[in-house]
Amino acid sequence: MKTVRIWFQKRGAARYISHLDLTHCMARAIHRAKIPLWYTQGFNPRAHMVFALPLPLGIEGRREALDIKIDETQITMEEVRERLSRTLPGTLPVLSVTEPVMKPGKITWASYELVLEPENGDIDLLAQQCSALLSQPEIPVSKHTKSGMIHFDLKPYLAETSFTVEENTVRISAFLPAGSEKNISPYLLTDALEHQQGASFLCEAARTGLYDAERKLFE
């Protein structure tokens, strides 16, 4: 038995399927690919499948990770990649299959890229609204948690957030806390831009990477 890490992307229409549906999709694809999964013992055996960090609905994932356990005497990692690539849709392409280096529990940060297109076509106004938001001394936001709604200041988490204007879009780069202890969604930023600055835009968001506490890329 061996644990392998499947690196994949979640893009296109796949951005709008829930994490639960993604889990079912991956399980079915692995079954169709005839990959010899390891199952837990006991009354209700289950396949060992662990995602590094679930994606918020609607956000593209450019470097996502799924850990599974396989019978390494029956299949190689390259065969896992080839078989799974044939059974998954094009919106969930497999990048590679490797041995895990870090544990998912070590994930502390995530990088995001957001592309905003003004609905009224006024890119200068949207850029001014982005600048005004990031210049606010406080950015009060609300977030749903398991224990209920919490209210906090988003500003301290935006130290590594910047934006540029590219043709008719505003491109925002953000480096935000992520993981089991603290998880800041980039949608908190876009919601604040809409409600506190009156901005109106279309948004495409992508998570580009995951990192540990020392800012090392998750491997």
Does pLDDT of 43 surpass 80? no
The verdict on 96 and 172 lying in the same domain is: no
User: How far is residue 98's CA from residue 110's CA, in Å, rounded to a whole number?
Assistant: 21
CA-closest candidate to residue 21, choices 92, 87, 90: 92
Q: For the chain, how far is it from start to end, CA to CA, in angstroms?
A: 20
Question: The domain containing residue 25 runs over which residues?
Answer: 2-100
The verdict on 116 and 185 lying in the same domain is: yes
pLDDT at residue 135 in the model = 97
Count of domains observed in the chain: 2
Using 50, 70 and 90 to split pLDDT, how confident is the model at 144? confident
Tell whether pTM > 0.95: no
CA-closest candidate to residue 55, choices 116, 115, 9, 3: 9
Q: Percent of the chain scored above 90 by pLDDT?
A: 84
CATH number at residue 27: 3.30.70.580
The verdict on 75 and 112 lying in the same domain is: no
Which residues are CB-contacts of 179 (< 8 A; sequence separation ≥ 6)? 53, 105, 107, 108, 109
In the predicted model, what is the mean pLDDT of residues 86-108?
96
The verdict on 122 and 79 lying in the same domain is: no
The verdict on 45 and 11 lying in the same domain is: yes
